[in-house]
């Protein structure tokens, strides 16, 4: 049985003038335990929508998502989520950011400390635990976001363009760090990206999504040894094949008879701040519920 099963997911967003935008239609795939799967596709094809469905932040209009035999209905500690642009709590130190989920769960301080040391090891952030996010480089912030998501030992790590905000020059280096970190944590990953090279460097599988209703154009297994050599002929062949598939993904949008997108892009764009606030209030609710339950 696969760890994660996406079964016939449809997601529709209402638009102005009673029209509807079908972002994902009847989408299905599964992810095996330990796999690193990337969702690759042009901007606006529904990658973030799919990931937030997996995170339980929004609900599908049809279909269901099953994680470790449980239907996903709400956000939960079995899923570590890293938002686009990392979203650390700026008012908390590195240590407090990392331990946030464990404190909410009222894990004993001895266990918190043990876990903190492990997470500082795999992220190589020893010495920075009392700094604030603003005092760290982009790469370090990214590592904090990653281990914060790993703190509660989730079944799966959901990453939304985790390197999206990083300079081009830094990206390859951080991809190497990310690969090492995931290997060290031995976790299952679903990562959203629009960067073909990044998907080949990191993934066991790359699912290419069309801009038209999120159709899966191809599910490509990357059969290359790790650590991967970007200069190898095999690597370059995957990059060129996937680049062609992404071009096809763009063209599907052009030929599709969709209503024109809302002119006010920002208004319709999935709001990162909303998601962040929702995540925060979900955590706060958990704390309150925990108190009431006791
Ligand atoms: N909450 C929302 N309300 C309305 N439309 C949305 C919402 N979230 C996303 N969309 C629309 O769904 C489409 C897919 O968005 P998204 O999943 O963010 O794409 P990607 O992450 O692949 O760039 C876009 O056209 C976007 O404007
Ligand atoms: Mg996105």
- Write the pLDDT tens digit of every residue in 35-78: 999 999 988 899 999 999 999 999 999 999 999 999 999 998 89
Q: For 133, which DSSP code?
A: G
Average pLDDT, the chain: 86
Structure-model confidence comparison of residues 99 and 184, the more confident one? 99
For residue 263, give the CATH number of its domain: 3.40.50.300
The tally of domains found in the chain comes to 1
166 C-alpha to ligand 1 centroid (Å) = 22
Structure-model confidence comparison of residues 103 and 222, the more confident one? 222
φ, ψ (nearest 5 deg) of residue 268: -90, -20
- The pLDDT of residue 128: 96
Most confident of 5-19, 82-96, 148-162, 193-207: 193-207
Which of 265, 268, 271, 272 for mutating ligand 1's site (highest number of atoms within 8 Å of CB)? Answer: 268
Digit-coded pLDDT (tens) for 139-168? 888 889 988 998 988 999 999 998 876 777
- pLDDT classification of 268: cutoffs 50, 70, 90: very low
Does 287 score more than 70 pLDDT? Answer: no
Which of 12, 15, 23 for mutating ligand 1's site (highest number of atoms within 8 Å of CB)? Answer: 23
HSE value, Cβ hemisphere, 13 Å, CA-based, for 152: 21
Q: Residue 142: which H helix or E strand, with range?
A: helix 138-150
- pLDDT classification of 283: cutoffs 50, 70, 90: very low
Which numbered ligand comes closest to the C-alpha of 246?
1
Structure-model confidence comparison of residues 106 and 218, the more confident one? 218
Residue having the nearest C-alpha atom to atom 7 of ligand 1: 270
Does 265 score more than 50 pLDDT? Answer: no
* CA dihedral of residues 40, 220, 238, 240 (deg, nearest 10): -60
Mean pLDDT of 257-273: 46
Spell out which residues line ligand 1, taking CB within 6 angstroms: 13, 23, 41, 43-49, 261, 268-270
Would you call 179 exposed, middle or buried from its count of C-beta atoms within 10 A (0-12, 13-18, 19+)? middle
- pLDDT classification of 266: cutoffs 50, 70, 90: very low
Cis peptide before 227 (omega within 30 of 0): yes
Closest CA to 38 of 212, 178, 230: 178
45 C-alpha to ligand 1 centroid (Å) = 8
Which numbered ligand comes closest to the C-alpha of 44?
1
Residue having the nearest C-alpha atom to atom 18 of ligand 1: 48
- The pLDDT of residue 282: 56
Which numbered ligand comes closest to the C-alpha of 261?
1
- Predicted TM-score (pTM) of the model is 0.84
- The pLDDT of residue 30: 98
Q: The domain containing residue 275 runs over which residues?
A: 4-293
Digit-coded pLDDT (tens) for 194-210? 899 999 999 999 999 99
């Amino acid at each position: 049985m696969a760890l994660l099963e996406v079964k016939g997911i449809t997601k529709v967003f209402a638009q102005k003038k009673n029209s509807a935008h079908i972002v994902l239609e009847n989408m299905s795939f599964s992810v095996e335990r330990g796999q690193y799967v990337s969702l690759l596709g042009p901007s606006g094809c529904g990658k973030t929508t799919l990931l937030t469905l997996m995170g339980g932040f929004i609900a599908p209009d049809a279909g269901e998502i099953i994680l470790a035999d449980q239907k996903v209905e709400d956000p939960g500690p079995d899923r570590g989520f890293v938002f686009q642009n990392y979203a650390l709590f700026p008012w908390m130190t590195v240590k407090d950011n990392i331990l946030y989920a464990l404190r909410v769960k009222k894990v004993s301080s001895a266990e918190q400390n043990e876990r903190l040391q492990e997470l500082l090891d795999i992220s190589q952030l020893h010495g920075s635990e009392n700094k604030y996010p603003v005092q760290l480089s982009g790469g370090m912030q990214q590592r904090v976001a990653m281990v914060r998501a790993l703190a509660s030992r989730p079944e799966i790590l959901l990453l939304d363009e985790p390197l999206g905000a990083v300079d081009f020059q830094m990206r390859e280096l951080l991809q190497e760090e990310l690969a090492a970190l995931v290997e060290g944590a031995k976790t299952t990953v679903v990562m959203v990206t629009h960067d073909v090279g990044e998907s080949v460097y990191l993934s066991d599988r790359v699912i290419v999504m069309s801009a038209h209703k999120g159709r899966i154009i191809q599910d490509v297994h990357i059969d290359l040894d790790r650590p991967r050599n970007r200069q190898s002929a095999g690597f370059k062949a995957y990059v060129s094949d996937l680049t062609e598939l992404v071009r096809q993904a763009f063209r599907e949008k052009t030929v599709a008879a969709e209503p024109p997108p809302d002119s006010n892009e920002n208004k319709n764009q999935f709001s990162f701040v909303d998601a962040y606030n929702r995540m925060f209030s979900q955590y706060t609710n958990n704390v309150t519920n925990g108190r009431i339950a006791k």
